[in-house]
Each structure stands twice: as C-alpha cells, then as structure tokens.
Chains A and B, each alone.
Chain A
Amino acid sequence: MNLLFIAWRNFRYRALSSFLTTLSLMLGVGLVVLVMAIYGIVSEAFVRNAAVGYNLVVGPRGSALQLTLNSVYYLSQPIENLPYTEFMEFFPAEERARMVREYGGDPALGERDGVYAGFVAGGYAIPLALGDYFGEFRVVGTTPDFFEKLRHGPEVDQPFTFQDGRALKTFTPENQYFECVLGSRVAAQTGLGVGDTMNPTHGDPEGKGHGQGFQIVGVMSPTGTPNDRAVFVNLEGFYLLEGHAKPIEDDAIIVPPERDPDDPRPPLLMIPEREVTSILVRNGNVMFAPGMQNRINESGRAQAAAPIGEINKLMSMIVGPLLSALLVITLITCVVAAFGVLVAIYNSMNDRRRDIAVMRALGARRGSVTWVILFESLIIAIIGGAAGWLLAHIAIYGAGTFIEQQTGVQVGLFSVSQFEWLLLPFVILLSLLAGIVPAMAAYRTDVGSNLSA
C-alpha cells in the first residue's frame, strides 16, 4: 500500500473534518475562478465593444475618455459639438462641393480637398449627432453609412443585420427624413417595433419632447455591443428637429442650395447650421492613423482618440485595480481555507500520534509518515480545487445566456481565463504549506513513548 493510499484512507476516516476543510477550500477556489472569469469577461466586453471597425473617434476637445464613452458606449454626460466643416475635412474636393450644392454654404469649401482626406484614403468617416434621448436610451443621429460600413463580432467582420425591417434611408417619400432603427435591447425593453413611431426628447431623458416623431423601419439583431441599447435616427431628420439648428453667424458666406423647383423634398439645414458630436473614422490604411491623429490634435479645433487605447486606460486605471482588489480578497479566502486545513489536521495530530508510531514500528520511515500527512493535505487541495474550479465554471456556463445578453461575450464550459492555470500550483503550494506544520509534528513523533500502552 503506497503512502498516497494511506493518506486517502486517513482522509476518508476523518470524513466530516475532511469534507468541511475541502468544502472551504472549494469555495475559496470557486470564488477566485469566478472573479478571474468576471475579470476576463469585463475586459473582453470592453475591448469587443470598442472594436466596431473604426480606429479613431474624432470629437470636440476635452476628455478623450469622455469622447470615447459618448461615441462608442453611448454613456456619460453629453459633450460639445463640432462644426460640420470639421466633418467635411475628411472628404476630397468634389464630395465637399456636392455637400455645398446640396445643403447650401460657402462655395470656397468645395474648392479644396479636406485636410484629412488623404489620410482616410479608402476608409470612411461617419458622423454621429448625440444629445437626444428616447426614455433612458441615447438617440444617435447618423447616416445609412453607419449600417453599411461598420462591422462587429469577435473578428470584427460581421455586418449589422436586422431581426425585423431594414436600415434607415436618408429620404423616402412615405417617411420623408424621419426614419429610425432600434437596437435590439431598446426594442425588447420598450416593446416597440417596425411601424411604430419613436418620439425623442431633447437634452436628457426628462427633456421635453420634440413633437416630430420618427418612423421605426428596422430592429437590429443583437450585436453584443452598446449599439443594442441605442436608437438610430436619420441625421438629416435629426437636424430638422426643433432647436437642433445652430444659429448662423453674421459674417457667414452662404450660397443657398441648388434646388430643382419641382423637388418635393423639404429643404435641409445649411452647412453653417449643421453640427456633429463626433466622427467615427477608419483609415483605408491603418498606418495613416497615428499621423492623422497628430494632425487633428495639433489643429486645435478637435481631438482624435483611439477607443481601444482609451478603454485600456480606463481598464488599467479603474476597473483593473478594482478587480485586482477583489482577486486579492478571494485569494486571501483561499489562504484562510488553507489555514483551516492546517488547523484541522493539526488538531487531529493527537489521535494520529499513535497511528504514526504504529506505522513506524512496522518499518515506516520518518519521511514516509511525514509524506502521509502532506499527501492528505494535498488530497484536500486537489479535490477542493478541482471541485471549486468545476463548480465556478458550471456557474459561469449556467449564466452564459445572461452574460452574452449583457456583454456579448460568449462563455464556454471550459473557457479558461488568462491566469487560471496558475491556480492549481497556487493551491497545491498553499496546501503543502498548510501541511508542513502537522507534517513536522508527524516527523518528530517519538515511536517509543507513543507505543507504551
């Protein structure tokens, strides 16, 4: 019979005490695994959400984090706006000239390329206008490009799809400029769907209504991104809402738009009246991104932020330390559990001294009886550790649907987080440390005096 088997028999013999110490270690390890998983899910969720196909967010000067939170996550306090001309800087001369003809404005704008047009080269720039709410959800004014060009998913290669209806269009005869699309959570939570009307409120969730409603033409499929909890409205319609036109300055040079007298479409806001909150930019060649970012930041008019960088900063500044603290606390739980193992085994040493002496009388060496004790604490560690690990994973897996709904992160039964494998050596080390005190007592056990009847 080997020493491990002897340890196993002792473990079983003191069933209640073994069970309780194993249980406490199991809970400790389970907690650590849970925290590690939450850590992994939270950071993945943040990074995933920031990965929506664009690499820069351009917005008014101020906090880059707040710009990111607003434009990517639709969170935080609303920020200032940029003049529309800033958006136009991402386009070449002929596109700018088209905008001037269509909306009306200074013809000089159409005579040169936008200063950042060269950096975009084959990429895109999509405008966002924020500031309105629909209930608790942010209203995002944007163009049909948003639905055509952005991608999401783990590989950032899946286009947005619709569980009902279609993407919004700039103009349709039936809805004019007032079409909107609901994110999946908005639709689920409000019960609204295609065919209903959505009335945004101005400024904040309690702000007063605009009067003008938007026709819901589509409900997006879940994406696991913040887009699930946003309402997208046509930018042109957004501009036409009461109070959304910027007052024109006195010295503005404006040539009115070229309009076909028979055009049934109502006139749009002119360029000096237009504002955007932020611009999502993807460079055709990502190598151009840093150069463009510098140009924008040096311009003094706007700032460009890399969302992933900002989010990583946020993670490492706030979320990371918080979770690390949580992790340390749960690791301490393990240490406390291991201490329980020590106390339990040590308390039973009085009963065991005689057993140890008997084994020694049968020829067992000091080293052997020492190992029997260490093995017993190892058995507790391995069973407790494995059970805790398994239980935590079953719990995470059980909550998988919920987690995916909330964060878009998919968790498998055995999706292991980054440092989880270190847990096994950690627990084994702990248990050996816990076993050492009683094991030394076993080592020192005197044969003769413990065998005298």
Chain B
Amino acid sequence: MLTIANLIKKFQQPGGGELTVLDVPRFEIANGEQVALIGESGGGKTTLLHLIAGMLAATSGSIRIDNIELTRLSEQGRDRFRAATIGYVFQTFNLLPAFSALENVKLGMSFGNGRVDHARAMDLLDRVGLADRANYRPKQLSVGQQQRVAIARSLAGRPKLLLADEPTANVDPASADLVLNLIIDSCRDESIALLMVTHSMEVAGRFERIDRLEDINHIPALKQV
C-alpha cells in the first residue's frame, strides 16, 4: 500500500546551506501490515513519517500510497489526502485543550470527506475505555488517558495507514501496554496498515516486522550532510 522510491529530503539549515536528512532508495509496507521502525535519535524517523503523511514535501523521489503519488500533489491535495487516508498519533498527546475528549475524536473526522459521526466517535471512545470521560477536557484526563483519546481520534477518519511516533514514550509502563495493545488490535481489526516509530525494543518486540532506519536510509544520523 505504501511504496517509497529514491526519496530524498533536504532541510534548509539555519546558518544557510542544505542538510540532507533522508535518502531512502526503497521502502514498502503491504496492506494491513504492521511495522516497527527503530533508529538513532536525529536519524530522520519523524521526518519520514511527516513525509509519508504529506505534512512535509519531499525534495525528490516518489511516495506512493494506494496508487496516489504524493509528491505530485499540491499542498491542499496532500491535506485532503491526509484527512482521508492517514491517522497520526504523536509522542505527546496533542489533544486540543479547548475541546472535550469526544470533540477531539470528532475533530479527527472533521476535515475529511465523511460526516461527523457521533455514534462512531462514542464507539471509539468506548473502545479505548473512556466512554465515561467523553465530556472531560484534556486537562481533566491523565497522560495515559489523553494518549488513548488521541488513538481514538487517529482512527476516527477511517484511515488506511496509521503513523505512530513513539506513542508510548511518555506514559507509564502499564498504560504503555494498554496503549500499544489498543493500537495494534485496532489496526488489525480494521485492516489498517501501521508504521510505528519506537526506541523501545520491548515495544518493537510486539511486531513481526522490525525495520532499522539505518538499513533504509543511506544517511547515518551522525553523518548528515
């Protein structure tokens, strides 16, 4: 479902000049496949997820998702594509503080093609065990609970690919287990492909396929030029 070929990402450096962060000759994920991505800090994992989500534009190369060539889309096109196809879970919770848990989940459906479906939003909250917290504000939820709401929100738009960037890094071990299970199980149940970045070998161990960024990316973290 995801095919990356000859992808290069360069950043403008603050001091001028360019910094090449990614050079990925080939990277693929099949439909419904679950992949853990590990690698050194600063290696470019988050950058890769941003590129796949269409939040960053590639410098060159090809990112193809469900036969859509992302690098050829305009920014607006990528926004629309992201709303319809990608779910995203961040390391820190990134719930919107002005909205209740339920409204945060509904926000996940607000920018795509589908209508805002109250029943589904409640259903998702129920699945992450927080139906009784639907009207709580993020501030009134624990860190782990916030991350579970974020998972519900990432699933709300019925994505085909879920990107998770160290979703368990900031939660306690018990919550981490719960969060991880929710992500893995939900993706399996809804046949959503999953790409999860993690530093934890324990987390990576839950996946059948574990990729190291160093194997994918020709640019090692410490030798970015």
Contacts and interface: CB of A to CB of B under 8 A. Distances in A.
Q: Are the chains A and B members of one assembly? A: yes
Nearest to B79: A365
Given A1-B103, A1-B116, A13-B97, A363 B90 contact: no
A361 interface: yes
Contact of A360 (B46, B79, B80): B79
* Size class of the A contact interface (CB-based, 8 Å): 20 to 34
B84 A451 contact: no
Given A13-B98, A355-B96, A361 B88 contact: yes
Contact of B53 (A2, A361, A365): A361
Interface string A354-365: 110011111111
B75 interface: yes
Interface stretch (B104-112, B174-182, B209-217): B104-112
A3 B90 CA distance: 23
Closest 9 CB pairs between A and B?
A363-B83, A13-B98, A363-B111, A453-B91, A447-B55, A365-B79, A9-B98, A1-B110, A358-B94
A9, A355, A451 — which one has the most chain B CB atoms within 10 A of its CB? A451
Contacts of A361: 53, 55, 82, 88, 90, 94
B106 A1 contact: yes
B207 interface: no
Contacts of B99: 9
B13 interface: no
B157 interface: yes
Contacts of A452: 46
Given A9-B103, A453-B90, A448 B55 contact: yes
B91 A448 contact: no
B56 interface: yes
Nearest to A451: B90
A402 B106 CA distance: 55
**B94, B106, B112 — which one has the most chain A CB atoms within 10 A of its CB?**
B94
Contacts of A12: 98
Nearest to A351: B97
A363 B80 contact: yes
A368 interface: yes
Contact of A451 (B76, B79, B94, B112): B94
Contact of B75 (A355, A366, A453): A366
Interface of B: 46-47, 50, 53, 55-56, 75-76, 79-80, 82-84, 86, 88, 90-92, 94-99, 103, 106-108, 110-112, 116, 153, 157, 166, 170
A365 B76 contact: yes
Given A9-B99, A355-B96, A453-B92, A362 B53 contact: no
16 contacts: A2-B110, A6-B107, A9-B98, A9-B99, A358-B90, A358-B95, A359-B107, A361-B82, A362-B83, A362-B107, A363-B83, A365-B76, A365-B111, A367-B76, A451-B50, A453-B90
A6 to B, nearest CB: 8
Given A363-B112, A366-B76, A448-B46, 4 more contacts: A1-B116, A359-B111, A448-B55, A451-B50
Contacts of B108: 362
Contacts of B153: 362
Given A9-B99, A362-B153, A448-B55, A368 B90 contact: no
Nearest to A452: B46
